[in-house]
Amino acid sequence: MPFIESVDHLTEYRRRVRAARDPQQLQVLVCGGPGCLPLGSEELAAAFAAEMEARGIAGKVLLKTTGCHGLCSHGVRVLIRPQEISYQKVTVEDVPEIVETTLLSGGVVERLVYHHPESQAPCPHKMDIPFYQTQNPLVLRKLDVIDPESLDDYLALGGYRTLRKILFQMTPEQVIEAVEKSGLRGRGGGGFPTGRKWRLCREAQAQPKFVICNGDEGDPGAFMDRAVMEGDPHAVIEGMIVGGYAIGAMRGYIYVRHEYPLAVKRLQKAIDQAREFGLLGTNILRSNFSFDIQISQGAGAFVCGEETALIASIEGKIGEPNPRPPYPVQAGLFGLPTVINNVETWANVPEIINMGPEWFAAMGTDKSKGTKIFSLVGAVNNTGLVEVPMGTSLRQIIFGMGGGIAHNREFKAVQTGGPSGGCIPPQYLDLPVDYDSLQQVGSIMGSGGMIVMDNHDCMVDVARYFISFLMEESCGKCTPCREGLKQLITILNEITTGKGEAHHVDLMEDICQTMATASLCGLGQSAANPVRSTLKYFREEYERHIRDKKCPAKVCRQLLIYTIDPNECTSCLACVRECPVGAISGPKKEPQVIDQDICVKCGLCVDACQFDAVKVE
């Protein structure tokens, strides 16, 4: 890999890379994203390599393991280019048929393509699939076509074009103005205007200054930032270079949680490539600007997603929040001015500079510009990553891209914003997804987690789960958060085990209000959202748990009653054999009976019965 000495050298190298590539060459692109890797992406890629070698086409077909292809529930995904044939649920056993039918004969293996859920018509090409049709990928657009460990792949698609523009055609002030005009807001949860943050940091007098990429993605079910770091690491690096130039920083840090080892590996390789190439280091491209990046790994503490706790962790201190002001732009890392943005925010920056702020601002809503990535998980048919313009409705995401509720069940709620987000009920399905609209209904954008729930989910249990998670992850520094979460989980445990009392609802509302107004950081201030939103929209469910000692969704085990229908029971004794506590008995060849005083409500009798005689109320 050559050392690039100037922007003209970079342009010429990019031209040679592109010229050496045949756009009509057959390509086999195997998804190596978070959803497909556990399903055997690496083994599948190796099988393709071996089969193509055996068939004598290894030198004619380009094989790559890429980043996430988006539709995770249908992995492992394989994209064949240039035809754009999209295969799903591919296994090693399918490889010979794909090689023979598609690579050698130009046909399609119809059984491996997506089939429309209504018409059952095959959708062989990527853009035939409804999941992709209404998306507008900006940050995700390269993930399914580039090798994340290849700098040449990134350069061939225009990577690092911003360096010529910012270093030799724009002043730092003009870069900040462009980001301000774009309307880009932080994608990490708070939604603070990115350009304003950069300006405040540039205007700070102290030196040196720093930029930080917050890759500490800890929300259950969220993997947006992980997919970008693993699938397009150079985009994050390029965005940070732009930010460093704008605020006058010479060093950047990428903070990545310990649970993302592949992201760390690929980011480090990308940093090493950029250094070797001359895109990081001293006097980049013979300019007066010097900038370098290093990785700092977190230990997995959820609270370190909060920027002051993250800074403390990088400094080697306990990862816990500190009072603000001063804000990091005034006194951040090592007490010096610091800009912190999350992975998605940094990855948006290069295209804003390349395409212009007006282009970016034309997408989205009046106050929420551009696109947003969501990890769509839970009770939907199509789980995975989606990127849509701000303002896209929940209905379009869940029932359009998500393909509706799995198992033909009824939609009940969607939680946005991670564990500190709120649960949004069906009457708001047409709500536009943007920062302000979500706040108005008691939820938040967060980093982009979106968990869909159906009528088999208990909203009291959902609140209990998230409060339990937040209690475990709270740093414990401030009393409202530490004690508030402890009291909430105690009350929720009482309610879900049949010990709830009428005054518990009012007590939880008081605790939630105190936490929201008195907690030290954003985690504590928003931690009560799961309870507040479920109390607001699903209060009747709480009341049935408390008043009737019933769980309508039949989730809270201690509130369930198991009985045996004598008209359905065949006295096969399967339930008797499975019961761990001997709660089921009765004369031979007669219906059995469950002793409610002994039953531990484990549900094994339901699984054992082949005649649906065991009933749950």
What pLDDT was estimated at residue 399?
A: 96
SS3 (DSSP) at 99: helix
Q: What average pLDDT does the segment 253-280 reach?
A: 96
DSSP 230-274: HH-HHHHHHHHHHHHHHHT-SEEEEEEETT-HHHHHHHHHHHHHH
The CATH number of the domain covering residues in 371-454:
3.10.20.600
Checking if the pLDDT of 1 tops 90, the result is: no
Going by pLDDT thresholds of 50, 70 and 90, the confidence category of residue 418 is confident
According to DSSP H, which parts of 248-402 are helical? 261-277, 307-314, 343-355, 357-361, 394-395
What pLDDT was estimated at residue 361?
A: 97
Specify whether domain 24-129 bears CATH 3.40.50.620.
Answer: no
* Start and end residues for every CATH 3.10.20.600 domain found in the chain: 371-454
* Start and end residues for every CATH 3.40.30.10 domain found in the chain: 24-129
Going by pLDDT thresholds of 50, 70 and 90, the confidence category of residue 220 is confident
* Start and end residues for every CATH 3.30.70.20 domain found in the chain: 561-616
What pLDDT was estimated at residue 118?
A: 84
What pLDDT was estimated at residue 299?
A: 85
Q: What average pLDDT does the segment 379-408 reach?
A: 96
Amino acid sitting at position 301: A
Checking if the pLDDT of 189 tops 80, the result is: no
Percentage of the chain lying above the pLDDT 70 cut: 100
Q: Model confidence over 584-603: pLDDT tens digits?
A: 999 988 999 999 999 999 99
* Start and end residues for every CATH 3.40.50.11540 domain found in the chain: 151-361
Going by DSSP bridges, is the β-strand pair 292-298/251-257 parallel, antiparallel, or unpaired? parallel
Checking if the pLDDT of 313 tops 90, the result is: yes
Q: What average pLDDT does the segment 413-426 reach?
A: 93
The rounded distance, in Å, linking the Cα atoms of 281 and 342 is 22
According to DSSP H, which parts of 55-114 are helical? 95-98
Fold of 459-548: de novo design (two linked rop proteins) (1.20.1440)
CATH, domain 151-361, list 3.40.309.10, 1.10.230.10, 3.40.50.11540, 3.40.50.2300: 3.40.50.11540
Q: What average pLDDT does the segment 506-524 reach?
A: 93
Site of tokens 């990428």: 254
Task: Calculate the average pLDDT of the chain.
Answer: 95
What pLDDT was estimated at residue 42?
A: 95
What pLDDT was estimated at residue 218?
A: 84
Checking if the pLDDT of 381 tops 80, the result is: yes
Specify whether domain 561-616 bears CATH 3.30.70.20.
Answer: yes
Checking if the pLDDT of 582 tops 80, the result is: yes
* Start and end residues for every CATH 1.20.1440.230 domain found in the chain: 459-548
